[in-house]
A and B are shown apart, each in its own frame.
Chain A
Amino acid sequence: MNVIETTALGKRYRGKWALHDCMLAIPGNHLVALVGPNGAGKSTLLNLAVGLAQPTAGTVTVLGGAPAGSPDALDRIAFVAQDAPLYKNLPAGAMLGVARNLNRRWDQRRAEDRLAQLEIPLKQRVGTLSGGQKAQLALTIALARRPSLLVLDEPFSALDPVARDDFLASVTGAARDEGVSVVLSSHVLAELERVATYLVVLGHGEVKVAGPVSELIAAEGAGLEEITLRHLRAGRAGSPRSSASARTEGR
């Protein structure tokens, strides 16, 4: 079962293609690292996959053929957007209540146990949590939904190194213990190198390379960081500034 499958998927914002002719078939039971420079189309691809955005061209299905954004897909995919948006004015416990009432599947016990483990009081307002705690609360809510697929958009961007490590440990733990497929986007590969089992490299709205990490390493004889850079540079061959601009070009 492919967790995300796209055919000729494209998304245009104001006349510019943020994602173009994207062909992907990401198999299940992987921890997928979706990497690429800022503006490469990572968020666009994830937004299309979770049904927040509608494609301009092509199709995207999830979890073995469900249309992205369909009730079935929404039910089985947990998404944590960039900066983990949650209701700042609510206490953590009420935030759990909101998520519980917005979902059919919900494991309240598990959510409360996790918050106790993380030492996040149920009465503390979300707005007063640290960046790491907030990300963990968002992850707690996502996991309490017992998803088949967990999608995380730039989960590390606002976290300090310790919080990053804790967060990643939580994610890999869930992936290992419960068989949750994870798709995680990041513009830095360093943290993911140890844990990712599937790699998708995006550059300028196009898929540069995609495949299981073990196969890519065997085929290319290099580490993930090296593979990523190689493919990002290859797309802009002929331009001496290509590598620098691929990494720094804004959205």
Chain B
Amino acid sequence: MGAHAVTAPTGRVPGPRPVPWRNLAWVTLRQQRGLFTGLGMFLGLFAAYLVVMAVIQGSAYAAVAACHPASVVRCQVLRQSFVSRYWGGDSSVLQSGGAQTVSSLMFGVPVLLGAFAGAPLLSRELDSGTFRFAWTQGAGRTRWALSTLLVPALAATAATGAFTALFYWYLRPFLALGQVSEMLPLTFALLGVAFAAWTLLAYALAAFLGTLLRRTVPAMVITLVVYIVLAMQTATVIRPHYAAPVTVPSASAAAASSGWVISMFAKSATGQELSQQSLFAAFQQQAPASVQNSGHPGAFQAWLTQHGYTQWTTLQPDSRFWEFQLIEGAWLTALSAALLGATIWLVRRRGA
């Protein structure tokens, strides 16, 4: 690898001035014009849909927000009809066509964007042999590869960042109404810096795999699989550990306020922890039939209080949103940078 040092060897006249980054960026933009146009159109159409929907639901939401006091039945009904119409029913997520469906679809955007943009970048060069042209020009392969990788990465990050702002605006009524928490897995990865960071990760992964495998389609498929596994593991296993969750009494205002509920449990009078299931089992075993069969809705709670049971909720409150966003954004960006670095390393050591 010594023969391919980028800087001129010591003791020799310094090498020629490197080709300016501006010129390299021009090459990348010109070469990837089709890619930029296609992905720009895809994001543009999606954005147009969000704008139209945001405007339509905005006027409906204005009526909900103007209804005072919010607790009266008239306002409750208004709120309920707004939510069911624009957020969507709970059961048929994909049929509802509301913001819930849009949010679900948004999950696919980072990986689609990343895989389509990243996988062909270098694999196509390696597959078609054009790397023999690109790597023997005066700019050298390292600068060429840096430009080829970083220009689309910056464009994708900027575009998805802007898209997040738009999505925020679109989702605002449902966040304001407490219909959905920013912390929930459904929305967390679509807001803040996470959406752009996940896109960058998918892109870096696809570019790395494309360079490693020298084939576009296998790189896309593996990117998709790895991405889905990582995204699911992050939402269910990794993210809850960014900070120790808060445990509050279930009846308290803190539990009632918006947040991401991790678990619910109960404590017996002796301080022993029970799951919700074992709590209910204890109730069924110990409570007299008169209480169990009571039609009164508060009977269960009253019996629990009477026998010293307390109920607790473990949650990540909404106030931690930006802290969590920055943690997730930081490790995703670090992982993406490592993958892009590994890609450059592959390019540098790759022979003809």
Contacts and interface: CB of A to CB of B under 8 A. Distances in A.
A and B part of one assembly: yes
Interface in B127-161: 128-140, 144
Contacts of A71: 6, 8, 15-16, 18, 138, 140
Interface in B15-35: 15-19, 23-24, 26-27, 30-31, 34
A124 B5 CA distance: 38
Given A85-B129, A103-B139, A55 B30 contact: no
B121 to A, nearest CB: 13
Interface residues of A, number: 42
B16 A72 contact: yes
Interface in A129-167: 138, 145
A176 interface: no
B3 A67 contact: yes
A101 B15 contact: no
A86 interface: yes
Nearest to A77: B136
Interface string A85-99: 111111000100111
Contacts of B6: 71
Contact of B31 (A70, A81, A98, A103): A98
A71 B137 CA distance: 9
Given A47-B352, A51-B136, A102 B27 contact: yes
A126 B137 CA distance: 18
Contacts of B349: 54
B15 A70 contact: yes
A77 B136 CA distance: 8
Interface string A59-95: 1100000011111101101110111011111100010
B352 A60 contact: no
28 contacts: A47-B351, A47-B352, A51-B4, A52-B132, A52-B136, A52-B352, A53-B351, A54-B1, A54-B4, A55-B3, A67-B4, A67-B9, A70-B4, A70-B9, A71-B138, A74-B136, A74-B138, A81-B132, A81-B133, A85-B128, A85-B131, A85-B133, A86-B133, A90-B31, A94-B30, A101-B23, A101-B24, A102-B27
B351 A102 contact: no
A104 interface: yes
Interface size class of B (residues with CB under 8 A): 35 or more
Contacts of B352: 43, 47, 52-53
A170 B352 CA distance: 27
Contacts of A50: 136
B8 to A, nearest CB: 7
Contacts of A51: 3-4, 135-136
A6 to B, nearest CB: 12
B95 to A, nearest CB: 41
Contacts of A85: 128-133
A98 to B, nearest CB: 5
Nearest to A51: B4
A82 B133 CA distance: 10
A98 B192 CA distance: 37
A239 to B, nearest CB: 31
Contacts of A60: 3
Contacts of A75: 15-16, 138
B120 to A, nearest CB: 11
Nearest to A53: B351
B330 to A, nearest CB: 34
Contacts of B34: 89
A59 B3 contact: yes
A105 B139 CA distance: 11
Contacts of A47: 351-352
A90 B133 CA distance: 14
Given A70-B8, A103-B138, A52 B351 contact: yes
A98 B19 CA distance: 12
Closest 7 CB pairs of A and B: A52-B352, A81-B132, A102-B137, A71-B15, A47-B352, A101-B23, A103-B138
